[in-house]
């Protein structure tokens, strides 16, 4: 069957995920302005959408709300345009061609956090097309503000938009968008020696032919319409990476950047807590040698420097990959209920646009993810791997080992709510000695969750085959190879439809070796948490490596 000849929406339920967030229909991409409103005790999520079309364009903001970030209600409803909160050109002639990504907080423009007012700052787009490696018209992107008095359902545009008109003078920019604002006491402390409750805003950008930039702005606690440029927080050369194998690429232009801090929380509850400063980055123009796209989702950790008492810069000390698959444009918020940082990412389809009108939708979001500082003690520096830079920081110990720290990531604990009314199967410990050994788990659903702990020898590969047809024509394989230290998602036989993307995805992932006593060391188990949601697959390994992508089996018993 030629999918392009099928009727619109005729494949709407064929591959559509059921427990990942998606727009009611049509195109969707970046998650925008997630926040928690303590006055209404609800979580809010916006996202870029083009209602009625399955391709990018006329970008608006859709809106949904939730009590647990798992089950969502469209605001106001899923029908027509009822779920659109911000639309191009409505109340703002700077956004006639698009309402791009931005940030939202339950605070008024004058700093009131008690009356339920919600403020959004977003990129208003006046001219298209724009491109990091092609034509970019000056004035295409400005930053605008709007206010809601009904818990984010409707917004009133600020009368004097845009609040930020242009990037720094003289810059030949690759982009200037995706504002993210919140209070950052760490910067206040460096600038003033105390927490002044100022707000800080970052804008993703880059200088053409030079490299990407993350620009830093400041506003007083009582006026979110007036921002002062402080300088570039992150400034690197094009295609910079701390480690070509482990760290991904910072490309030539940043998008949807999020600067945030995390406390290193000790298990014993001690007071000696260390603050780590991270930045999550979407990057354009990155190296594709080890990645299926020139768009990377990466993170960096750094120390803040204040060279001239006003310009805050970050010195990069660690650099890793947020998702090795097709998830991009990660956006976050601080959840005061759980005292945690939550991220959402956009998972683009892997259908190459083939049959997209029959699909009737395009894209979903990842499950909400909590990031945290992951700490391992008494780690052995095998083959000197940690002596080079990468997605880790290392503190040497007196016994010759080190303390290993990285940015951890895991699905939020509320995902357990998905298991209500579901069937759970527990498998006892099984031992396999050869690659020819397999056991069937008899999962007959295309929507399931799998948790596995695997004790792997240093030269043995192991993994799972899923979405397999009874005749073996279709299947997807996940393999971990401890020799090459790669987690490999093999999609070669994932679908009989040749037009869909079926390339393999490689995620660099090492299992840590810890010293138990003077004479004995032990390699950690491979811990996998896998979510298969019809076509959407999310794979978490040891709460620090993630792959998100799509597969499209066609046979009814796959």
pLDDT in tens, 53-82: 999 999 999 999 999 999 999 999 999 999
Q: Is residue 465 scored above 70 in pLDDT?
A: yes
pLDDT of residue 310: 66
Are the C-beta atoms of 375 and 405 separated by less than 8 Å?
yes
| Cβ neighbourhood burial of 391 (10 Å; 0-12, 13-18, 19+) | buried
How far apart are the C-alpha atoms of 272 and 268, rounded to whole Å? Answer: 10
pLDDT of residue 343: 98
In the chain, what are the domains? 421-550 (2.60.120.560)
The SS3 of residue 358 is helix
Quote the strand ranges of 24-159, DSSP E.
26-37, 42-50, 60-66, 72-74, 84-86, 98-105, 118-125, 141-148, 156-157
Percent of the chain with pLDDT over 70: 97
Q: Which two tokens stand for residue 239?
A: 């295609």
Q: Is residue 541 scored above 90 in pLDDT?
A: yes
Q: Is residue 394 scored above 80 in pLDDT?
A: yes
pLDDT band at 426 (very low <50, low <70, confident <90, very high): confident
The arithmetic mean of pLDDT across residues 106-119, rounded, is: 95
pLDDT band at 272 (very low <50, low <70, confident <90, very high): low
Angle at the Cα of 354 from the Cα atoms of 348 and 360, rounded to 5 degrees: 70
pLDDT of residue 270: 56
The arithmetic mean of pLDDT across residues 453-478, rounded, is: 91
pLDDT band at 93 (very low <50, low <70, confident <90, very high): very high
Complete DSSP assignment for 248-285: ----SEEEEEEEEEEEE--TT--S-PEEEEEEEEEEES
pLDDT of residue 267: 58
How far apart are the C-alpha atoms of 395 and 389, rounded to whole Å? Answer: 13
Mean pLDDT computed over every residue of the chain? 94
How far apart are the C-alpha atoms of 308 and 305, rounded to whole Å? Answer: 9
pLDDT in tens, 478-536: 999 999 999 999 999 999 999 999 999 999 999 999 999 888 999 999 999 999 999 99
The SS3 of residue 320 is strand
The arithmetic mean of pLDDT across residues 344-348, rounded, is: 98
Are the C-beta atoms of 72 and 2 separated by less than 8 Å?
no
Q: Is residue 427 scored above 90 in pLDDT?
A: no
pLDDT of residue 458: 72
pLDDT of residue 430: 72
Q: Is residue 202 scored above 70 in pLDDT?
A: yes
pLDDT band at 20 (very low <50, low <70, confident <90, very high): very high
pLDDT band at 104 (very low <50, low <70, confident <90, very high): very high
Q: Is the pTM of this model over 0.85?
A: yes
Q: Which helix (H) or strand (E) holds 514?
A: strand 513-517
- Residue 365: partners with Cβ closer than 8 Å, 6 or more residues away: 20, 21, 22, 28, 31, 45, 47, 344, 345, 346, 347
- Residue 502: partners with Cβ closer than 8 Å, 6 or more residues away: 491, 492, 493, 494, 495
Q: Is residue 251 scored above 70 in pLDDT?
A: yes
pLDDT of residue 315: 96
- Residue 424: partners with Cβ closer than 8 Å, 6 or more residues away: none
| Cβ neighbourhood burial of 500 (10 Å; 0-12, 13-18, 19+) | buried
Q: Is residue 435 scored above 90 in pLDDT?
A: no
């Amino acid at each position: 069957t030629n999918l392009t000849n099928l009727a619109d929406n005729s494949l709407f339920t064929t591959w559509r995920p059921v427990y990942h967030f998606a727009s009611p229909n049509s195109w969707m991409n970046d998650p925008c302005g997630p926040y928690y409103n303590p006055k209404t005790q609800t979580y809010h999520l916006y996202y870029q959408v083009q209602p009625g079309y399955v391709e990018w364009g006329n970008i608006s903001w859709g809106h949904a709300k939730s009590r647990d970030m798992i089950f969502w209600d469209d605001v106001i409803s899923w029908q027509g345009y009822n779920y659109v909160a911000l639309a191009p050109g409505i109340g703002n002639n700077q956004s006639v061609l698009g309402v791009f990504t931005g940030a939202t907080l339950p605070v008024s423009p004058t700093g009131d956090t008690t009356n339920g007012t919600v403020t959004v700052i977003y990129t208003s787009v006046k001219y298209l097309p724009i491109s990091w490696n092609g034509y970019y018209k000056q004035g295409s992107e400005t930053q605008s503000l709007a206010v809601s008095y009904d818990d984010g359902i409707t917004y009133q545009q600020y009368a004097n938009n845009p609040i930020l008109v242009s990037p720094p003078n003289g810059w030949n920019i690759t982009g200037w968008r995706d504002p993210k604002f919140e209070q950052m006491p760490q910067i206040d402390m460096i600038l003033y020696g105390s927490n002044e409750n100022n707000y800080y805003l970052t804008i993703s950008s880059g200088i053409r032919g030079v490299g990407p930039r993350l620009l830093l702005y400041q506003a007083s606690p009582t006026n979110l319409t007036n921002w002062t440029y402080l300088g570039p927080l992150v400034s690197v050369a094009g295609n910079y990476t701390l480690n070509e194998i482990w760290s991904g690429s910072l490309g030539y232009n940043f998008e949807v950047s999020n600067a945030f801090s995390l406390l290193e929380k000790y298990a014993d509850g001690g007071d000696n807590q260390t603050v780590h400063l991270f930045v999550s980055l979407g990057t354009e123009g990155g190296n594709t040698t080890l990645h299926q796209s020139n768009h990377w989702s990466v993170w960096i950790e750094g120390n803040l420097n204040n060279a001239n008492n006003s310009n805050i810069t970050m010195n990069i000390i660690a650099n890793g990959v947020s998702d090795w698959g097709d998830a991009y444009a990660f956006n976050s918020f601080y959840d005061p209920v759980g005292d945690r940082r939550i991220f959402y990412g956009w998972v683009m389809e892997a259908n190459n646009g083939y049959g997209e009108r029959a699909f009737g939708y395009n894209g979903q979001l990842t499950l909400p993810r909590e990031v945290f500082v992951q700490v391992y003690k008494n780690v052995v520096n095998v083959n000197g791997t940690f002596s080079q830079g990468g997605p880790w920081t290392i503190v040497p110990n007196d016994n010759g080992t080190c303390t290993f720290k990285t940015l951890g990531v895991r699905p939020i604990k509320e995902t357990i709510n998905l298991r209500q009314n579901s069937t759970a199967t527990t498998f006892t410990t099984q031992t396999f000695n050869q690659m020819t050994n397999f056991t069937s788990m008899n999962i007959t659903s295309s929507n399931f969750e799998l948790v596995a702990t695997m004790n792997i020898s240093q030269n043995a590969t192991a993994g799972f085959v899923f979405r397999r047809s009874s005749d073996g024509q279709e299947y997807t394989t996940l393999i971990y190879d401890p020799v090459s230290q790669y987690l490999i998602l093999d999609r070669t036989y994932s679908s009989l439809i040749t037009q869909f993307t079926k390339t393999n995805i490689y995620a660099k992932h090492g299992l840590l070796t810890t010293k138990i006593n003077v004479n004995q060391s032990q390699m950690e188990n491979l811990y996998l948490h896998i979510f298969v949601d019809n076509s959407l697959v999310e794979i978490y390994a040891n709460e620090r490596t993630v792959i998100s992508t799509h597969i499209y089996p066609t046979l009814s018993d796959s």
